[in-house]
């Protein structure tokens, strides 16, 4: 099946005049493409360019060397190449950001006398903080990868988009839904409550635990803006007066017969509900967990909004507790194996939000201490075990967490690819590795074998961001990160040319790269031998989905947190980029 918020305002810009030829080649909401040439005045055995802006620039993409972000206003780009006097260093770069700004930019070559301190108008945007080199060599820029993941969730928005929509090829869609807003599931356009709530819970957890990671990455405001889109949807989906929760918008079977833009889709989009006569504590509990986590994340940002989320989470949890059972009306899509894990998660997040011992007691009754297969939209067992250990420090919960990671680490029974990915399943191997990496970073924060868990987690994310051998190595499975990444995700909207050009089944099978770059999306991933094909029709390896990005996204915030704290582990990936 094809499982398929908002960023700050767009960025406008003027050409950057460095010292010779520089001009804007293309521009769009939130970014631009520029090219320039910098004169070389002395022999250089390796060099570092220094770009300075007088206004905030979120991040840049450049392919002549390894970019390094000093701050939102200063970047360096390094290369080991030799240059002679009279040469020029010419390059293209992409700038990303927001706001009606027109910053001045200067570029210099470090250590070179004279030359290259140009002035002029430039434009760029704001974004992730530097945490290392670019996506194609050396250290990874985890902050940049985090910012791009936020863009992916913005690309998934349903409903009427705000004026600051950062995705130029997306527009208003499905505005007549019974519950407007929210995120499309994957490359399709259904809103499925189980993966949606699971995704939102993991994203909210990352904001609660690793807020400083978002701050260091320059992504805190963007994260708040992005995730509020789904919280707003949950608040509309739950009707406490009617004791009814909308758990699905759209018909999966009908939706999957349509290939095109969500903006052009006019089929019927039926709504499905859980209520007193239709059980669905799995989705209701999961949604309560997401809103309770959101109430903590928003407490310092907007206390009134945080309270709305908390009150909705309390009433929805009480409803779920009184109407146990799983939702079966969405078959054959996202069938749940049980509701105890979601109820446990909901109880624990409400305990964290309120301190009410009753919620903790509930969670102790819901928890399953068995060893989880993985962390995903249908199985939150390991998440509940970790939350209980964090709250109680009791050995039984610590033992369950350690048993999970013992089963995931080398020698524990899980398959490892030749380049070192913990490969759980052909459906979304990147997803499961990313989710477990996030959980490992959370467990480390709880004091469970922090050195070992952090090292393993970072190595898994490094594999995803380029420490692999696909396409000659340095291949990022996150779209838009680095210079080599998937160009043909199984995603309808990204396959469509700019409007008003038509889009239909022909675009599914069209050759060449998709017209739109689905920035930040994490594709399903390789097979057990590190093999991967970038083919749009391959919905096994090239699927993208809300839940695919969730743990990966959280792990990125956790790694930037480690960088901010000076606690990055030494890693030893088998296929370093």
13, pLDDT greater than 50: no
Look at the alpha carbons of 43, 47, 50, 51 in this order and tell me if their dihedral is positive or negative: positive
**Structural domain of 375:** 142-472+548-565
* CATH code: domain of residue 418: 1.50.10.10
Cβ neighbours for 446, distance < 8 A, ≥ 6 positions apart: 386, 389, 390, 401
Q: Do 179 and 290 share a structural domain?
A: yes
What is the domain count for the chain? 2
Residues 202, 189: Cα–Cα separation, whole Å: 21
Q: What is the CATH number of the domain that holds 48?
A: 2.60.40.290
Q: Are residues 57 and 191 in the same domain?
A: no
- Stretch 36-55: mean pLDDT, rounded? 80
CA dist., res. 41 & res. 202, Å (int): 52
Answer yes or no: do 172 and 104 share one domain.
no
Burial, 474: exposed, middle or buried (Cβ in 10 Å; 0-12, 13-18, 19+)?
buried
Residue 576 is assigned to a structural domain of this protein? no
Q: Is the pLDDT of residue 81 over 90?
A: no
Residue partners of 572: CB distance under 8 A and separation at least 6: 455, 459
Per-residue confidence at 52, pLDDT binned at 50, 70, 90?
confident
Q: Answer with the one of 58, 91, 109 that is the final residue of a domain.
A: 109
Contact status, residue 260 vs residue 504, Cβ threshold 8 Å: yes
Q: Are residues 272 and 316 in the same domain?
A: yes
- d(Cα 439, Cα 386) in Å, to the nearest integer? 8
- Please indicate, yes or no, whether residues 378 and 328 belong to a single structural domain of this protein: yes
**For 419-436, what is each residue's pLDDT tens digit?**
999 999 999 999 999 999
Same domain, 105 and 162: no
For residue 542, is it within any domain?
no
Beta-strand runs (E) in 229-324: 238-239, 244-249, 271-274
- 284 in the same domain as 182: yes
Is a pLDDT exceeding 60 seen at residue 129?
A: no
* Statement to judge: residues 409 and 279 lie in one domain: yes
pLDDT at 260 over 90: yes
Residue 357 neighbours by CB distance under 10 Å = 9
The confidence band for 125, taking pLDDT boundaries of 50, 70 and 90, is very low
Say if residue 35's pLDDT is above 70.
no
Q: Indicate the burial class of 488 (C-beta count within 10 angstroms; 0-12, 13-18, 19 or more).
A: buried
- How far is C-alpha 259 from the chain's CA centre? 24
Is the pTM above the cut of 0.85?
no
Residue 537 inside a domain? The answer is no
**543 assigned to active site:** yes
- The answer as to whether 381 is a domain residue is yes
Is 116 inside a domain boundary? no
Choice among 177, 534, 547, 563 that is catalytic: 534
Please check whether residue 1 lies inside any domain of the structure: no
Domain contains 488: no
How far apart (Å, rounded) are the C-alpha atoms in residues 52 and 430?
36
* The most confident of 40-49, 71-80, 427-436, by mean pLDDT: 427-436
Please determine, for residue 19, whether its predicted confidence score (pLDDT) is greater than 50.
no
Looking at the structure, tell me whether residues 94 and 146 fall in a common domain: no
Task: State whether 176 and 305 are in the same domain.
Answer: yes
One domain for residues 153 and 104: no
Annotated catalytic residue, options 467, 543, 547, 563: 543
Contact indicator for 479, 485 with CB cutoff of 8 Å: yes
For residue 370, tell me if it sits in a domain: yes
Contacts (Cβ under 8 Å, ≥6 apart) of 72: 56, 57, 58, 126, 127, 129, 218
In terms of phi and psi (left: phi > 0; alpha: psi -120 to 50; beta: otherwise), the region of 472 is left
- DSSP H helix total and E strand total for the chain: 15, 14
Task: Let me know whether 147 and 245 are in one domain.
Answer: yes
Can you tell me the distance from the alpha carbon of 509 to that of 503, in angstroms, rounded to the nearest whole number? 11
End-to-end CA distance of the chain: 33
402 catalytic per annotation = no
- Write the CB contacts of 429 (distance below 8 Å, at least 6 apart in sequence): 421, 423, 524, 525, 526, 527
* Secondary structure (3-state) at 460: helix
Least confident of 13-27, 275-289, 383-397: 13-27
């Amino acid at each position: 099946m094809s499982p398929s918020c908002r960023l700050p305002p767009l960025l406008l810009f003027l050409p950057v005049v460095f010292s010779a030829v520089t001009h804007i080649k293309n521009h769009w909401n939130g970014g631009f493409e520029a090219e320039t040439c910098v004169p070389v005045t002395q022999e250089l055995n390796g060099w570092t360019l220094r770009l300075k802006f007088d206004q905030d620039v979120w991040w840049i993409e450049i392919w002549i060397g390894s970019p390094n972000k000093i701050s939102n206003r200063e970047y360096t780009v390094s290369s080991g190449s030799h240059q002679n006097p009279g040469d020029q260093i010419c390059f293209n770069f992409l700038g990303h950001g927001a706001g009606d700004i027109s910053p001045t930019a200067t570029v210099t070559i470090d250590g070179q006398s004279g030359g290259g301190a140009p002035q002029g108008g430039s434009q760029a945007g704001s974004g992730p903080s530097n945490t290392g080199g670019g996506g194609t060599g050396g250290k990874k820029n985890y902050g940049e990868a985090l910012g791009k993941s936020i863009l992916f969730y913005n690309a998934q928005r349903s409903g009427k988009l705000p004026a600051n929509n950062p995705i130029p090829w997306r527009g208003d869609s499905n505005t007549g839904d019974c519950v407007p807003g929210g995120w499309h599931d994957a490359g399709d356009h259904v809103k499925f409550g189980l993966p949606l709530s699971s995704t939102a819970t993991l994203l909210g957890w990352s904001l609660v635990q690793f807020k400083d990671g978002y701050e260091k990455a320059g992504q805190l405001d963007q994260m708040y803006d992005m995730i509020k889109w789904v919280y707003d949807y949950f608040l509309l989906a739950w009707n406490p007066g009617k004791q009814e929760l909308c758990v699905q918008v759209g018909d999966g079977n009908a939706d999957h017969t349509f290939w095109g833009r969500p903006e052009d889709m006019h089929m019927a989009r039926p709504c499905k509900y859980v209520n007193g006569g239709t059980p669905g504590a799995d989705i209701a509990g999961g949604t309560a967990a997401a809103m309770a986590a959101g109430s903590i994340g928003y407490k310092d940002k907007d206390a009134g909004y945080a309270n709305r989320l908390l009150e909705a989470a309390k009433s929805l949890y009480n409803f779920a507790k009184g109407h146990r059972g799983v939702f079966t009306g969405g078959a054959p899509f996202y069938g749940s194996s049980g509701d105890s894990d979601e109820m446990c998660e909901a109880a624990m997040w409400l305990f964290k939000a309120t301190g009410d011992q009753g919620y903790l007691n509930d969670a102790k009754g819901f928890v399953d201490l068995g060893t989880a297969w993985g962390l995903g939209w249908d199985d939150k067992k390991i998440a509940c075990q970790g939350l209980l250990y964090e709250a109680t420090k009791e050995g039984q919960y610590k033992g369950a967490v350690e048993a999970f990671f013992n089963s995931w680490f080398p020698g524990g029974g899980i398959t490892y690819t030749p380049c070192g990915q913990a490969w759980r399943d052909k459906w979304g191997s990147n997803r499961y590795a990313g989710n477990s990496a996030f959980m490992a970073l959370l467990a480390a924060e709880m004091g469970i074998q922090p050195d070992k868990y952090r090292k393993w987690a970072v190595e898994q994310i490094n594999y995803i961001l380029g420490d692999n051998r696909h396409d000659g190595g340095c291949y990022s499975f996150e779209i838009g990160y680095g210079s080599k990444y998937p160009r043909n995700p199984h995603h309808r909207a990204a396959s469509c040319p700019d409007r008003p050009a038509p889009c239909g089944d022909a675009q599914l099978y069209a050759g060449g790269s998709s017209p739109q770059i689905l920035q930040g999306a994490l594709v399903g991933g390789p097979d057990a031998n590190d093999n991967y094909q970038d083919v749009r029709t391959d919905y096994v390896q090239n699927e993208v989905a809300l839940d695919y990005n969730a743990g990966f996204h959280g792990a990125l915030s956790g790694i930037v947190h480690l960088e901010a704290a000076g606690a990055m582990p030494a890693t030893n990936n088998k296929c370093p980029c």
